[in-house]
Structure 1
Amino acid sequence: MSAVELFADWDERPAPATAAVPAMPPAAVAAQVVPAVAVPPAPATLAPVAAADKRVVNGRADINQLAPFRYPWAWQFFLNANRNHWTPLEIGMAQDVTDYHHRLTPAERHVFETVLAYLTTSDVLAMRNIGLAVMEKMSAPELQLYQARQVYEEALHTWTYQHCIETLGLDQAEIYNRYRVVPELHAKIALASRRLDAVLRPGFDLAEREHLHDFALSYLFFAAVFEGCWFYNGFSPIFALQRRGLMKGTAEQLQYIMRDEVMHCAFGIRVVRQLLREEQLTLDPAALTAMWQEADATEAAYARHLLREPILGYSAELHLGQFRFVANRRARQLGLAEPFPGAANVLPWLDEQVNLRKEKNFFETRVTEYQTGGALAWD
C-alpha cells in the first residue's frame, strides 16, 4: 500500500468511542469558578540584528534569524548543494553485477570491496562530525543551513554504498565489519574518531582559547584531510576501474558523491579561514605537522593493504603519491605551508576523471552551474 493510500482516509476515520458523560445541570455549571490566569507582560522589543554582530562561533546575533547575511557565500553553498540533488536509484547497476562476478580479478575485487568497506563507515563518521561537533557550535544560521544539508548528503552517500553492496550481493556483515577487524582500515577510523571525540568532551567551551584552537584544528582535519584528501583519494581506485570500462555504475555514483564532498571541503576550508581571522587565532605549527604526519602514515598503511597486489594502472605508490599532492593543495588553500614539498601529480587523469563537465574543476574546488541529478549530462 502506498503512502497516499495509507493516509487517504486520515480525516475520515471515525472518532474513537467514548463513554457517555452525564450533562451537568445549569446551576452546577454556573457555580463553577474559573481561576484567573496571569497574563505575562509583553516582552521588551529587541534591537534589530546587524550582520556585523554575527560570527562563526561565539556570535552575539540571534541564531534564529537568517538575514541580514554576514556570510552570503554560505547561503550560495546551500543553494548550489540543492541543485545537486540525486539518489542512487537513478543509476543503472546491471553491468556492474556482471563486471564484479565475471570480469574483475581477485585483486580488483579486493580493491573494490575495501574501498566500499572504508567509505561505508567514513560517511557515517562525517555525518556525526558535522551534526554533533560542528553545526551546533556555529552561531550564524547561514552556516548551519548549509551544514544541515551536508548532514543529509552524508546520509545519502551511506545509502549509495549500501545500494551498491545490496545490488552486487555482497556480504553486508563482512563488509561493514572490516573496519573493526582490518588494522589498516581501523587506524583511519580511529584517528578521525579521536579528533571528533576531542571536541565532544564534557565542558568543551569555545570561549576558552585552548578549546577554540582544538575545535579549529579538528574542523580543519575533517574538511581538508578527511574529506579533502582521504575521500578524494579514496574514490580514485574505482575511477581507475571505470577508465577501463569496469564498474561504471558504481563509479558514476561516486562522481555524484565527489561533487558533494568537494563542496564540503571547500566550505569547511572557507569557514576555518574565516574563523582564524575573526578570532585572531594562529594554529600551532607542531600540531599541524603532527596532523599531516598521522594522516600520511595511516594512508600509507591503508594503501599497502588496499593494493597489496597492484591492479592495471594503479598501485599503492600512486595512491600515496596522489594523497601527498592533494594534501599540499589543501594546505595552500588554507594559507598553510605544504606538508609534502615536491609531491608530484602522479595521477594526472584524476582531475578530469572526477569532473562532471570540463567547466567544473572539482580538483580546484570550484563548482558552478549545478543541475538536478536527473538532468546531469556526462562527458
Structure 2
Amino acid sequence: MSAIFDDWDTPAPPRTPAAPAQDRTPASSAAGTAAAPDRPAPAALAPVRAADKRIVNGKADINQLAPFRYPWAWEFFLNANKNHWTPLEISMAQDVHDYHHKLNAAERHVFENVLAYLTTSDILAMRNIGLAVMEKMSAPELQIYQARQVYEEALHTWTYQHCIESLGLDQQEIYNRYRVVPEIHGKIALANRRLERVMRSDFDLANRDNLHEFALSYLFFAGIFEGCWFYNGFTPIFALQRRGLMKGTAEQLQYIMRDEVLHCAFGIRVVRQLLQEENLALDPVRLRELWDEAEAAEAAYAGFVLREPILGYSAALHMDQFRFIANRRARQLGVDEPFPGARNVLPWLDEQANLRKEKNFFETRVTEYQTGGALSWD
C-alpha cells in the first residue's frame, strides 16, 4: 500500500509512440504469420469443503464464501446490516442548549473527557480489526462481518465528530486530550501495546507462541476494550440522559453501544472457536495480567473523568460496574471471573443497550433494532 502512495507524485515514464494504424494488424491474422501456441488450460481444483475451513491457518479457498463452516458469522453480518443508521438522523439542538446553559462545570468535564476518549478509541478499534485481525482470518464469512465492523467503527468516529461540531467544541483541544491527559493516554497506550506486534503481516500464526499472543490480543479487544471499556464507557453520558440532559448525544451513543454489543459477541465467539480448534489453553498468569492492567487503566481514567462525582454517578460506581461487566465477559469467554463477588450496581445500564422505548414516528426514527436485543449476556 505504501508503495502506491510513494509513487503518487512520480512522473509517468514517457510513452512509446504508437505504431501506425496499418502496422497494428493482429499477428494471428497477418499473412504468413504463425499463430501463437495454445497454452494448456489450468488444472481443475478440488471443491471447497466446509470442514477445511478454520478461524486461522485454514486450507480452503479464502475467496469462496460457501459452503459455510461458520454460519453464525454470516448471521452476524446480516443482522448488522439491519441496524444501519447515521448520526445526522438525531437532533442535537437540545444538547447545544444543555451544554451551554444547564451542565455545571463537573458535568462538562465528564462529558468532554468521555467524548475525548471515545474519539480516538474507535479509530484504534477500526485499525485492530482492519489491520491486525481481518487479514489473519482464513474463512471469508468471518472477514465479511469484520469488514462491516470496520465500517461501523468509522461511523462511530463520525458520530463523535458530529457531536463535537454540533456543540462547537474546540476540535484540536478535544482530540489532543488522548495525548496530553495521562489518564486517557494510559488506556490508549495499553491498547496500542496489545495491538502492535500482532498487527504485523509477517506474524506467523503457525507458531504456537504467536498464536497464543494473537488469542490474548483478540480477547483483549473483544472482551475488554469493546466488551468492558466501551460498554461501561458510555455510562457517564447515560447518567446525564437519565436526568433529561444531553439526550441527543446519549441516543447517538445508544446506537453505537448496540453495534459494540454485536462486535463483542462476535469477537468472543471467535476467540472461543479459535481456542477449541487449535487446542489452545490461555496462560492463566498472562490472562490475570491482562485483567489487572485493564482494571488499573480504567481506575485511573475514572478517577480523572469523575474527579468530582455528578448526580447519580461516581468513580466508585464506575469501577464497581467495570468489575461486574468484566466477570460477565469472562463467563462468556469460558475463563475464571477476574473479580469474584462484583455486584451489578447499575442495573439500568443493560436497558440502554436494549433501546426498548416508544418513539413518535413523525418526530424521530424508530430506534428498535431487529436483532441485537435478543442477545443474552448472562
Give the TM interval when normalised to the shorter protein: 0.7 to 0.9
1:231 and 1:261 in contact (8 A); partners too: yes
Q: CA 1:39/1:178 → structure 2, altered by over 3 Å: closer, same or farther?
A: farther
- Partner residue, 2:156: 157
- Partner residue, 1:109: 108
The one-letter amino acid paired with 1:259 is R
2:95 and 2:245 in contact (8 A); partners too: yes
- Partner residue, 1:79: 78
- Partner residue, 1:8: none
CA displacement 1:200-225 (0-9 Å, x = unmatched)? 24641000000000000000000000
- Partner residue, 2:128: 129
- Partner residue, 1:323: 322
Q: CA 1:343/1:45 → structure 2, altered by over 3 Å: closer, same or farther?
A: same
Q: For residue 345 of structure 2, give the secondary structure of its aligned residue in structure 1.
A: coil
Q: CA 1:303/1:41 → structure 2, altered by over 3 Å: closer, same or farther?
A: same
The one-letter amino acid paired with 1:245 is G
**Percent of residue pairs bearing the same amino acid type:** 78
Residue 274 (structure 1) aligned with residue 265 (structure 2): no
- Partner residue, 2:194: 195
CA displacement 1:142-163 (0-9 Å, x = unmatched)? 0000000000000000000000
CA distance in 1, matches of 2:192, 2:32: 61
Q: CA 1:41/1:305 → structure 2, altered by over 3 Å: closer, same or farther?
A: same
1:49 and 1:61 in contact (8 A); partners too: yes
Q: For residue 318 of structure 1, give the secondary structure of its aligned residue in structure 2.
A: helix
1:86 and 1:374 in contact (8 A); partners too: no
Q: 1:38 offset after TM fit, Å?
A: 4.8
- Partner residue, 2:295: 296
Residue 48 (structure 1) aligned with residue 63 (structure 2): no
Q: 1:350 offset after TM fit, Å?
A: 1.1
Q: CA 1:112/1:60 → structure 2, altered by over 3 Å: closer, same or farther?
A: same
Q: For residue 116 of structure 2, give the secondary structure of its aligned residue in structure 1.
A: helix
CA distance in 2, matches of 1:261, 1:31: 64
- Partner residue, 2:351: 352
Q: 1:355 offset after TM fit, Å?
A: 1.6
Q: Where do 1:165-176 residues align within 5 Å?
A: 165-176=164-175
CA distance in 2, matches of 1:25, 1:336: 74
Q: For residue 313 of structure 1, give the secondary structure of its aligned residue in structure 2.
A: coil
Q: 1:376 offset after TM fit, Å?
A: 2.8
Q: Where do 1:118-267 residues align within 5 Å?
A: 118-201=117-200, 203-267=202-266
Which consecutive unaligned segments of at least 5 residues does structure 2 have?
Answer: 1-18, 358-363, 370-378
CA distance in 1, matches of 2:169, 2:36: 64
1:50 and 1:68 in contact (8 A); partners too: yes
2:132 and 2:200 in contact (8 A); partners too: no
Residue 376 (structure 1) aligned with residue 375 (structure 2): no
CA distance in 2, matches of 1:79, 1:33: 60
- Partner residue, 2:311: 312
The one-letter amino acid paired with 1:283 is L
Q: CA 1:34/1:251 → structure 2, altered by over 3 Å: closer, same or farther?
A: farther
Q: For residue 108 of structure 1, give the secondary structure of its aligned residue in structure 2.
A: helix
TM-score after normalising by structure 1: 0.87
CA displacement 1:55-105 (0-9 Å, x = unmatched)? 000001110010010000000000000000000000000000000000000
CA distance in 2, matches of 1:356, 1:133: 31
Q: CA 1:41/1:310 → structure 2, altered by over 3 Å: closer, same or farther?
A: same
Q: For residue 354 of structure 1, give the secondary structure of its aligned residue in structure 2.
A: helix
CA distance in 2, matches of 1:230, 1:248: 21
CA distance in 1, matches of 2:85, 2:279: 39
Which consecutive unaligned segments of at least 5 residues does structure 1 have?
Answer: 1-20, 359-372
**Aligned length in residues:** 345
Q: CA 1:102/1:285 → structure 2, altered by over 3 Å: closer, same or farther?
A: same
CA distance in 1, matches of 2:368, 2:135: 37
Superposition RMSD on alpha carbons, in Å? Answer: 2.3
2:133 and 2:199 in contact (8 A); partners too: no
2:95 and 2:249 in contact (8 A); partners too: yes
CA distance in 1, matches of 2:365, 2:66: 32
Q: CA 1:110/1:35 → structure 2, altered by over 3 Å: closer, same or farther?
A: farther
Q: CA 1:37/1:110 → structure 2, altered by over 3 Å: closer, same or farther?
A: farther
Stretch moving more, 51-60 or 193-202: 193-202
Q: For residue 187 of structure 1, give the secondary structure of its aligned residue in structure 2.
A: helix
TM-score after normalising by structure 2: 0.87
1:308 and 1:316 in contact (8 A); partners too: yes
CA distance in 2, matches of 1:44, 1:319: 61
CA distance in 1, matches of 2:73, 2:21: 61
2:177 and 2:184 in contact (8 A); partners too: yes
Q: 1:351 offset after TM fit, Å?
A: 1.5
Stretch moving more, 233-242 or 36-45: 36-45
